[in-house]
Structure 1
Amino acid sequence: MNAVSHTPAGGPKPNPRTLAVDCGGGGIKSCLLDAGGFQLGNAIRTPLRYPLPPEDLLGIVSSHAEQLGSFDRITMGIPGMIRHGVVVYTPHYIRKAGPHTRILPELADAWDHLDIEGRLTTSFGVPALVLNDAEVAAAGVVSGQGSELVITLGTGLGNALIDEGQLSPHLEISHAPLRWGLTYDDYIGEAERIRLGDSAWSRRVLKAVDTLWPVFRWDRLYLGGGNSARIRPAIREQFPENVTFIPNAAGMNGGVRAWALAGRAAE
């Protein structure tokens, strides 16, 4: 993989340009952000082809970087359990043909505890920050006051908990059991939305949110992700007043503020 030209390392930059990469189950989106988090030019999206070893994903990022131009750091949001830039578990990329298909043992091994943050830093020669994709989205919308929970609805359910402007340890709510032996991903993921239709699926989302309230008792809940726009207006009106709907673009626009949320604003 050839590294794109970038600003050489040598200390924090006063107005860094950030390459923001949003990794989904169906595609990889990238854009450049200025120091204020505003997008510079158009984003690039590449649909995923499965199976997807780590080298393929990194190759897509390299291709995007070459097209977008120079940058001083990278922010990547990736689904699954990410700790300190290491992939503890990712649910989609270890499968033969994408979400809900058979797990390939060799792919599971390739992704298991992969230091993807380190790989990005080595490949591009700039600091990198890799978080769960919902955590990057959270950075683009939270106020930094009180307990704020962000839930993203897409291929599955993503989540991030922010306490007074700082990331809390990540929990994979998506894999928790909900009802009928189903997880949250099973109950309100994209496959069920397609099967049920938007109206019935919207009612399920409302029920799922109701089950999470006793666990988190948030000051503010943000609902985002590509499928949040599909929640029917009549169901939206039934959500409590402390629930805010956010645009899907937050997944990329949070690429700047994510550094502060993660306590790495000086890099």
Structure 2
Amino acid sequence: MSEEPHGPLTLAVDCGGGGIKASVLDARGTMIAQPTRTPTPYPLPPDMLVDLVEDLGRKLPACDRVSVGMPGMLRHGVVIHTPHYVCKSGPRTRVLPELVEQWHHCDIRRALAERIGVPALVLNDAEVAGAGVITGTGLEVIVTLGTGLGNSVWDGRRLAPHMEISRMPVRWGLIYDDYIGEHERLRLGDAHWSRRVRRVVDALRPALLWDRLYIGGGNGVRIAASQRRLLGDDVVIVPNDAGIRGGVRCWEMDL
């Protein structure tokens, strides 16, 4: 265990479809080590993800607890569904039924806590990012843009039950992940893709009626300036490091 001049040290791990990043932060949310990153390997069964988190932790200062954000729906640290890690060669490749079986109802929080030997929290990656940016006032929503679309909803400092908006249909046969994901940004270019982002915001606003919407993730900063101006005063674009910094604040939230 580490010495705690400023409270517990947290190993925060942000697991994405393309890369897995980690750093150690003090109780104020300040990184005490440069983040380390590794490409996401595929296929990725649960035990391999646990190995990766442990390996990243060994490269960083000792921690007192670990926070992990990963894609998909989790309840109390148990995976209900994860969209990318069940694929043979990465997002949008063939789904392996044996991986679906391994991930379904996998208690990944327990597996990490037992392996690393410290208390663990495992949440959807957008939930961790949300914890890193919300003010705790009113209804706040975060949408993360990366491999796909992530989201979390907060009422004050209370996390609402998770909804996989990424799986909802934009129109017949097309879901939000397919409409706004990284593969479409690369195909369309930032300008056209940014118009799609604005359409998504316009579609979600009457359904959620947020007080504040945050847009983060690796592609949040790629939204064209011409479209940013049209998003509305209730929309804020936040840095991608929220997925790491939220690893401390999520311990303080009502989950």
Paired position in structure 2 for 1:140? 132
AA at the equivalent of 2:224 = R
Paired position in structure 2 for 1:215? 207
Q: Secondary structure at the match of 2:38?
A: strand
| RMSD over equivalenced CA pairs, Å | 1.5
Q: Which deviates further from its counterpart, 171-180 or 215-224?
A: 171-180
Pair 1:108-2:103 in alignment = no
AA at the equivalent of 2:46 = P
Preserved contact between residue 69 and residue 128 of structure 2 (Cα < 8 Å) = yes
- In the aligned structure 2, how far is the partner of 1:76 from the partner of 1:200? 33
Q: Secondary structure at the match of 1:103?
A: coil
| CA-to-aligned-CA distance 1:136-191 (integer Å, 9 cap, x gap) | 00111100000000000000000000001110100000000012421111110111
| CA-to-aligned-CA distance 1:192-214 (integer Å, 9 cap, x gap) | 11111111100001001111011
Paired position in structure 1 for 2:159? 167
Give the structure-1-normalised TM-score.
Answer: 0.93
TM-aligned CA deviation for residue 121 of structure 1: 1.0
TM-aligned CA deviation for residue 53 of structure 1: 1.2
- In the aligned structure 1, how far is the partner of 2:252 from the partner of 2:136? 11
Preserved contact between residue 157 and residue 254 of structure 2 (Cα < 8 Å) = no
Paired position in structure 2 for 1:246? 238
- In the aligned structure 1, how far is the partner of 2:95 from the partner of 2:147? 17
Structure 2 unaligned regions, length at least 5: none
Question: How many residues get paired?
Answer: 255
Q: Secondary structure at the match of 1:88?
A: strand
Runs of 4 or more off by more than 2 Å in structure 1?
none
- 1:178-193 alignment, distance < 5 Å: 178-193=170-185
Q: Secondary structure at the match of 1:255?
A: helix
Give the structure-2-normalised TM-score.
Answer: 0.97
Preserved contact between residue 2 and residue 9 of structure 2 (Cα < 8 Å) = no
Q: Secondary structure at the match of 1:248?
A: coil
- In the aligned structure 2, how far is the partner of 1:159 from the partner of 1:210? 15
Pair 1:59-2:35 in alignment = no
- In the aligned structure 1, how far is the partner of 2:239 from the partner of 2:40? 22
Paired position in structure 1 for 2:197? 205
Paired position in structure 1 for 2:85? 93
TM-aligned CA deviation for residue 65 of structure 1: 1.0
Percent identity, aligned pairs only, is 55
Structure 1 unaligned regions, length at least 5: 1-5
- In the aligned structure 2, how far is the partner of 1:187 from the partner of 1:126? 39
